[in-house]
């Protein structure tokens, strides 16, 4: 069965048994027009259930075939007024949405003036500052942390830490040298290949000790005199 919208001339092919002999209300999915259609055995009549609604112009619309978006059995009762009111609101909302989209598209195509561009930049900067309120504090902290590049500008904590590390390294070196001099025989027995190096090291240490003893002896004599 072919149903034609009296408002926008949209054609709908529906099964014959979907329209009873007593008829029923149908609604066009293209323009939301509602009218009453009788079965094949009856006569087609038109009832306008939406008072002052006009759908979009159909002169430039291509011909298409689809099923109706709304069918309600007229044999039991007429369409509820609340349903029609909801349909009107949805149709008005759709029209307002399309109008807003067209306005937005037209506004986007117009060239912006210098003042509009400047205001937009300020608004974007304010929005960015609102999203990241602590970015200045973060940048300042990073600059303060990375600023001292010369040795004279090293923070006090870094100096203290470096001094502690150097002190412990010095103690470790002294401990290794003392152990090598004290346990020279044990080391040469355990590692025969190190005998030559240990002898050189021991002779060097003995030389330094002799110099130390001479310096101390001269110092003591000068103090006594």
Query: Per DSSP, what are the bridge partners of residue 13?
Result: 2
Q: Model's pTM, two decimal places?
A: 0.27
Given this model, what pLDDT does residue 37 score?
83
Which residues are CB-contacts of 99 (< 8 A; sequence separation ≥ 6)? none
Confidence of residue 94 (pLDDT cuts 50, 70, 90): confident
**CB–CB of 68/23 below 8 Å?**
no
Q: Alpha helices, DSSP H only, in 27-155? A: 81-109, 114-131, 135-146
Listed by start position, the domains of the chain span: 2-109, 114-145, 158-224
3 φ/ψ angles, rounded to the nearest 5 degrees = -115, 135
**CB–CB of 21/39 below 8 Å?**
yes
Least confident of 89-98, 113-122, 159-168, 175-184: 113-122
CA distance 23 to 43: 9
CA distance 51 to 88: 9
| Greater pLDDT, 112 or 186 | 186
- What is the chain's mean pLDDT, rounded? 70
Query: What DSSP character marks residue 62?
Result: P
Reading the block at residue 44, the tokens are 């087609």
Q: Is the dihedral of CA 95, 99, 105, 108 positive or negative?
A: negative
pLDDT at 96 over 50: yes
pLDDT at 98 over 50: yes
């Amino acid at each position: 069965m072919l149903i034609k919208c009296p408002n926008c001339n949209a054609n709908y092919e529906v099964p014959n048994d979907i329209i009873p002999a007593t008829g029923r209300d149908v609604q066009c999915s293209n323009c939301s027009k509602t009218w009453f259609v009788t079965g094949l055995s009856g006569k087609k009549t038109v009832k306008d259930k939406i008072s002052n609604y006009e759908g979009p112009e159909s002169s430039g619309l291509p011909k298409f075939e689809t099923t109706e978006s709304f069918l309600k059995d007229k044999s039991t009762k007429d369409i509820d007024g609340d349903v029609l009111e909801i349909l009107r609101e949805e149709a008005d909302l759709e029209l307002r949405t399309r109008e807003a989209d067209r306005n937005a598209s037209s506004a986007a195509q117009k060239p912006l003036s210098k003042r509009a561009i400047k205001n937009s930049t300020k608004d974007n900067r304010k929005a960015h500052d609102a999203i990241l309120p602590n970015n200045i504090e973060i940048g300042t902290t990073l600059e303060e942390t990375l600023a001292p590049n010369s040795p004279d500008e090293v923070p006090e904590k870094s100096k203290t830490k470096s001094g502690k590390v150097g002190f412990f390294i010095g103690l470790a070196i002294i401990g290794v040298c003392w152990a090598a001099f004290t346990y020279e025989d044990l080391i040469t027995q355990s590692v025969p290949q190190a005998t030559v190096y240990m002898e050189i090291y021991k002779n060097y240490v003995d030389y330094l000790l002799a110099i130390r003893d001479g310096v101390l002896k001269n110092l003591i004599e000068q103090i006594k005199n």
